[in-house]
A and B are shown apart, each in its own frame.
Chain A
Amino acid sequence: MDAAEVEFLAEKELGDLGPFNPGLPVEVPLWLAINLKQRQKCRLLPPEWMDVEKLEKVRDHERKKDTFTPMPSPYYMELTKLLLNHASDNIPKADEIRTLVKDMWDTRIAKLRVSADSFVRQQEAHAELDNLTLMEINTSGAFLTQALNHMYKLRTNLQPSESAQSQDF
């Protein structure tokens, strides 16, 4: 799954925009909100968590902990990117928000690299990764699963196997 497809799923998130009837906020999927905004038919209201103070708390918490902390939205990365690219005029302190979210992303991806490394080294068979978002999993996941698959094949080919499986490198 590439980043565009994860973004496709993120676009289904519902957000507020106003107005259809002037002044009244309406909840619609993000893909629609962005399209209407591009046609200059509405104003987007940022989600509640897209606030400098709140994000600072989340970022600091993420930096302190070794594990992955819950994110304000399973699509925090995509939502930030889409909203800041298309509606930064509707979002207060857009630049600070961009930096904060990038910090959070970088911290988490670094943690993911460390966990992936130890997973492969210790030849674990299973890992639980509850607070990871889809975008994080898809960014690093393909490499990790391919590495694990190759290592498994190399390991099992050292021992004579019962079934003569053809190898798919």
Chain B
Amino acid sequence: MTEELDLMGQDSDGGSEEVVLTPAELIERLEQAWMNEKFAPELLESKSEIVECVMEQLEHMEENLRRVKKEDLKVSIHRMEMERIRYVLSSYLRCRLTKIEKFFPHILEKEKTRPEGEPASLSPEEFAFAKDYLKNVALKHMPPNLQKVDLLRSVPKPDLDSYVFLRVRERQENILVEPETDEQRDYVIDLEEGSQHLIRYKTIAPLVASGAVQLI
């Protein structure tokens, strides 16, 4: 359906991606980011370039629909496609906001102490949301003598030892599996492309960030 829209060669503005994505690939990326965010116990890197491109694409589609003659079937098909994209996008953003609310002191702390060059976990809007949440929601209802340091201690951190399911996109070798009990020993496994696994998030977190595995 999207081949009919003249959107080939759309570049991502201001993002670190220099790759040109077709509309289909862009939506694929959005869905991957959505699933990863859903299943990851912590807030993942902000994918603002994808979000911005998807919103632009939705605007293009809206414009195209306005130009087209009132042909009922085609218009409603495009609208359905747009609704599907909007659903994934808003689900993705809501998932992130829920995590921001849940872990806000740790997220704000991490952002404050983030080294130069490391990608941000929050988009500018999300950062504003988090700070606002701290001021107007959290602190407003706390006793006056509560300091931010206490928030870091009393608000639970994301549980990076949670188990997750994943599918392997790029082959990985020698991933260390830590034992559950003291009697067991560490062992290494290879992750074959296309295979699916159940494992603790902490070990494979960098692979999620790099795109080598997909959480499912």
Contact = CB atoms under 8 A, between A and B. Distances in A.
Given A1-B35, A125-B184, A165-B157, A144 B196 contact: no
Contact of B163 (A28, A123, A145): A145
Given A9-B31, A31-B80, A166-B155, A152 B197 contact: no
Given A35-B80, A167-B156, A168-B156, A125 B195 contact: no
Main secondary structure of the interface of B (DSSP, over half): mixed
A125 B156 contact: no
Interface in A113-163: 119, 123-130, 132, 134, 137, 141, 144-145, 148-149, 152-153, 155
B171 to A, nearest CB: 14
A123 B180 contact: yes
Given A125-B178, A166-B153, A167-B156, A8 B87 contact: yes
A111 to B, nearest CB: 14
Interface residues of A, number: 35
Nearest to B215: A1
Contacts of B197: 126-129
Interface string B143-164: 0000000000111110101111
A129 B87 CA distance: 29
B38 A130 contact: no
Interface size class of B (residues with CB under 8 A): 35 or more
B9 interface: no
Contacts of A93: none
Contacts of A3: none
Instruction: Report which residue of A119, A145, A167 has the largest number of chain B beta carbons within 10 angstroms of its beta carbon.
Output: A145
A69 to B, nearest CB: 14
A19 to B, nearest CB: 14
B198 A127 contact: yes
Q: Please provide the 6 A-B residue pairs with the shortest distance between their CB atoms, ordered closest to farther.
A: A168-B156, A123-B180, A145-B163, A127-B198, A148-B163, A126-B177
20 contacts: A29-B1, A31-B84, A32-B77, A124-B180, A125-B177, A125-B178, A125-B184, A126-B199, A128-B197, A141-B198, A145-B163, A145-B164, A145-B165, A149-B159, A149-B163, A153-B159, A155-B180, A166-B154, A166-B156, A168-B159
Given A126-B177, A166-B153, 11 more contacts: A1-B38, A29-B1, A31-B84, A32-B81, A123-B181, A125-B177, A132-B196, A145-B164, A165-B157, A166-B155, A168-B159
Interface of A: 1, 5, 8-9, 28-29, 31-32, 35, 41, 119, 123-130, 132, 134, 137, 141, 144-145, 148-149, 152-153, 155, 164-168
